[in-house]
Amino acid sequence: MKNNLVILGAGESGYGAAVLGKAKGWNVFVSDNGLMKPEYLEKFSRLGVKFEQNGHNETRIFNADVIVKSPGVPENAPIVVKAREKGIRVESEIEFAGKYTSAKKICITGSNGKTTTTTLIYDIMRGSGAKVAVAGNIGESFAEKVAKETDGEIDWYVIELSSFQLDGMYDFKADIGLLLNITPDHLNRYDYKMENYVNSKLRIAQNLQESEFFVVNADDPETQNAISRVTSMGTKITFSAKSKTGDAYFDGTNITFEDFTFPVCDLQIKGIHNIANALAAVIACKKAKVCNGDLAKGLKNFKGVEHRLEPVIEFNGVQWINDSKATNVDSVIYALGAMTRPTIWIAGGTDKGNDYSLLTDLAKEHVKALVCMGLDNKKLVDSFTGIVPDVFDTNSLEDAMNKCREIATKGDCVLLSPACASFDLFKNYEHRGKCFKEDVIAHSK
């Protein structure tokens, strides 16, 4: 008799779990409490699995042997709580997929820098000729990648992991785990308790043995405090972009780890935060046996990732920068700190329990105007009125962009760096960044 697999959530992660579940002989049922997007309705229909939307059939769901919970479904969702009370195992898509591959795994988490570091590691390893794939919170789901894997095709997965994906992981472990930093983020999903969020991030180190590596940021006090509570973390390797105290470090000119040295002036990605990302990537790649020549070539050629401090265009003397991936305050700290021109800052969206006071000094120094873009901007408006010369309240991309064009003068920079999630006006941060870029390009012609 087939085992019953129920998947909660019908997005990218849920679809990947369904593909893998079906490939491995599970009796798959997908349940989404909301309306499914048309593209996923088509995908699930084509896959031939049974599904429901706009509500949960508890009788069917509680007949599951295993429930895979998509990252968008909160841990405290009533259906999840009830399932666990009934003794049904509820796990993440990452946990489920990990059982079906023997490939080694480099796993990256942190409040900021995940996508840049993940992409950099992947690019370096791919350029070295390694049999490698990238998955997780970037691109195609891990489960779908595993479902398509053939014997010997993949030696390494480079996996970006959000806190939501780490929730529901129990037996899964990395071969190389990276914890880049911990700053307040997604606190609305963690009862507004930093400790809960930190505990989620620490799952990156669970189950690590001495033969495996745990790469951590020596400069980040929250990370250092957190790992002091971890009793088993494999072999710890630290990195520091601020001093020589890390095993890998930046000395003001070069980044160094073991027998590898690289001049930072050759990096195309700029800023101290990107030096930290590069250091973490260097450690991971060295421990994955990438040679120094391939490592240096990969670092030199890497241009960064879309939606992260991405220059769009300079038109009529005004520079436009897409930093839509900055969905928390700490990301905006990096962005505003990198500005060298008077800045018109576009921020707003779904607030995640942000403390905007952390941005006060940078806003005073760099921001000539704040254009708030969201359905409810009161917190932003209240936080920065009197801090920056002008604060504008808009409720759509069109209004926000028109206001920016109205007030921008030659020599200014318009920076989209929202500090918030995108779900009030957009599908996700990628959609927000794409719409921003399309608008900028359209009005520059």
Catalytic residues: 114, 137, 186
Kindly provide the b/e burial profile for residues 214-232, where b requires at least 16 CB atoms within 10 angstroms of the residue's own CB: bbbbbbbebbeebbeebee
Task: Name the β-bridge partners of 7.
Answer: 30, 68
Which residues does 356 contact at the CB level (< 8 Å), separation at least 6?
329, 379, 380, 383, 384, 419
Cβ atoms 327, 421 nearer than 8 A: yes
- State how far the alpha carbon of 92 is from the alpha carbons of 143, 186, 270, 317, in Å: 10, 18, 35, 48
CA dihedral 4, 5, 7, 11 (to 10 degrees): -120
Bridge pairing between strands 367-373 and 390-394 = parallel
